[in-house]
A and B are shown apart, each in its own frame.
Chain A
Amino acid sequence: MKTKVSLRVNGLVAEGVVEPRVSLADFLRHELGLTGTHLGCEHGVCGACTVLVNGVSVRSCLMFAVQAEHCDVSTVEGLAESPERLAPLQQAFRDEHALQCGFCTPGLLMTLTELLRENDSPTEADVRDAISGNICRCTGYQPIVAAALLAARLMRAPGP
């Protein structure tokens, strides 16, 4: 039986009618066309589908869309202020070459967004712990860690 789902995604009201078995990830991708959220393993191991629900990181493959009723969901599409202006974390990923194929990137960005929101001066160990649930098979993680530390520095610096 299909159910109506109403939530906010990146600040905008989003609605759809879905079967209860549809994951939040598939709802974002197929109902809303927000294909920035990627699905890798679909059993909570790879971290590619990480989004923020009410401000905290979750695996969107391990949550059903119906469970996100009235929730505030943030996806990678909501990070940049505008298509021309990346968020500092995204810019740091570009500057440090923290992605190759880009499949894991949305999940890493959302995971690190949560980390940097609550800790503006993470250590390398903090970053490595935070991203321990995100698998990247391209980079070897070094540039991702460097990008997270660079983003923290950029975000701490006083604005222009």
Chain B
Amino acid sequence: MKAPPFDYHRANSLKEALALLAAMENAKTLAGGQSLVAMLNLRYVFPDHLIDINPVAELAGIDVADGTISVGAMTRQRAMEVSSELYDAAPIFREALALVGHRQTRNRGTFGGSLCHLDPSAELPTLALLYDAVVHIASTRRRRSLAMRDFIAGYMNPAIEPDELVTRIELRSWPRDAGYAFLEHARRRGDFAIASAACLIEADQDRRTIRRIAIAVGGLADRPIRLAAAERELKDAQGGPGAFDAAAQACRQFEPLVDVHAGADYRLATAVTLVRRALTAAWSRATSPPASVP
């Protein structure tokens, strides 16, 4: 179908975008449009105004300094995928971004747009939660920031007001020798994942004990989740198949989503398997000597 009528406003700067958002009733921010325009065409949403922030150059870009990664909200997913700076600081992003939609959608889709759309199976919100990212938010009234866990208010529901805009996402990189893995299962490469698992692990010098760990799961519940209980169990424990299998069972605390692609049992079983495999893969990277980068 075709999009319903709306008034179009082109913002050329952050200031302009915020002024437009403050002035307009029932307005939507148009970032990459890879979800919003589809929803318009399907007539799921009927905004009176679209505020196009694509021209706002100050909202795009990747900066890495002193272990802090700062990504502008309008940074294209493709730019993140090919960024060597981001790869050096957080290689899991490249692994996950290869699974975000398709090349044609990554050329337009943005980090901030994905976080605000907050599809439970989307890769980037899951990664932002994995890293305890800080989401920077602006309006004409105030500037504020939210931890990713607080930014997620509910199913596809970010904790931002109608006049607010996500400007930047900040995360702390893990040490270079930390293991990582992002795995997902979808019906077709690039489609919405039935479930996904993201994992970061730091091994102790003995390469047997887990010093630090983060596990996030997408697609399973109504929002991306952290397996906090499993993280606590695994911290300072020995890594290995038994421990990882037990940790993956933590998925069972969550109410699985049900849709045409997967019922509750199948989705849960998929998530458990993916978490076990992601832990195993990340642990293997954390405990083997650094391999040459492909």
Tell me the number of A-to-B contacts counted with CB atoms below 8 Å. Answer: 84
Secondary structure at the B interface, as helix, strand, loop or mixed, is: loop
Given known A-B contacts A64-B8, A67-B52, A44 and B38 have beta carbons under 8 A apart: yes
Q: How far, in angstroms, from A47 to B104 measured CA to CA in the complex?
A: 8
B144 CB-CB contact with A under 8 Å: no
B41 CB-CB contact with A under 8 Å: yes
Given known A-B contacts A21-B4, A67-B52, A67-B54, A57 and B103 have beta carbons under 8 A apart: yes
What string of 1s and 0s marks CB contacts (under 8 Å) between B95-113 and chain A? 0001001111101100000
B34 CB-CB contact with A under 8 Å: yes
Name B1-55 residues within 8 Å CB distance of A.
1-8, 10, 30, 33-34, 37-38, 40-42, 50, 52, 54
Which residues on A sit within 8 Å (CB–CB) of B78?
A: 56
Q: How far is the CB of B164 from chain A (nearest CB, A)?
A: 22
Residue of B nearest to A3 (CB): B8
Given known A-B contacts A20-B8, A23-B2, A132-B188, A63 and B104 have beta carbons under 8 A apart: no
Whether the pair B50, A20 counts as a contact (CB closer than 8 A) is yes
Name A105-140 residues within 8 Å CB distance of B.
111, 114, 129-130, 132-133
Whether the pair B8, A61 counts as a contact (CB closer than 8 A) is no
Q: Which residues of A contact B (CB under 8 A)?
A: 1, 3, 19-23, 26, 42-44, 47, 50, 56-59, 61-64, 66-67, 111, 114, 129-130, 132-133
Q: Which residues of B contact A (CB under 8 A)?
A: 1-8, 10, 30, 33-34, 37-38, 40-42, 50, 52, 54, 78, 98, 101-105, 107-108, 188-190
Knowing that A47-B104, A59-B34, A67-B52 are A-B contacts, what are 20 other residue pairs whose CB atoms are under 8 Å apart, sorted by A's residue number? A3-B8, A20-B50, A21-B3, A23-B3, A23-B41, A26-B2, A42-B1, A57-B103, A58-B104, A58-B107, A59-B105, A62-B33, A64-B37, A67-B33, A111-B103, A129-B98, A129-B103, A132-B102, A132-B188, A133-B102
